[in-house]
Amino acid sequence: MTEQRIILANGSRLLREMLNRILRKTASLNVVLEIPDPQNLPAAIQDNDAEWVITSLPLNDPIPGWIDIYMLEHPSVRIMTVSPDGSQVKLKWLESREDELIDPTLDDLIRILERHPDQVEEVHN
């Protein structure tokens, strides 16, 4: 399994630290950068060659438009948005694919991050 480079990009330092601590326990997942402001994301993606960006998203909100803009510039990047309480995760990649998981387990999230986008079909729901 190849290493997946991850950028944690959200304003909640607590969430970034929690995710970083969890992801460090998995050999194939490497958090290469933590950034509190998504405005720094284009340069961060370019400089760190990340496969994944994990950011927060208010419960039941759609994925924000800025993500589509970043994906146009960096189509190989995959986006995972996590609700503050962890009960909802939205995934977006390859510009045309978006999935949503309700009440995902930590194991579900790790399996998603470890796989190539074409392999992420039915994970939990």
| R_g over Cα of the chain | 13
* Cβ-proximal residues to 88 (8 Å cutoff; 6+ apart), any chain: 57, 59, 60, 82, 100, 101, 102, 103
| Annotated domain spans of the chain | 4-117
Backbone angles phi, psi at 121, to 5 degrees: -105, -95
* Cβ-proximal residues to 109 (8 Å cutoff; 6+ apart), any chain: 80, 89
* pTM, entire model: 0.76
pLDDT digit string, tens, across residues 3-49:
899 999 887 788 888 889 999 998 899 999 999 887 788 888 889 98
CATH value of 4-117 in 3.40.50.2300, 3.50.50.60, 3.40.50.150, 1.10.10.10: 3.40.50.2300
pLDDT digit string, tens, across residues 50-102:
899 998 877 777 777 777 877 887 788 898 988 878 788 888 876 566 678 88
3-class DSSP assignment, residue 99: strand
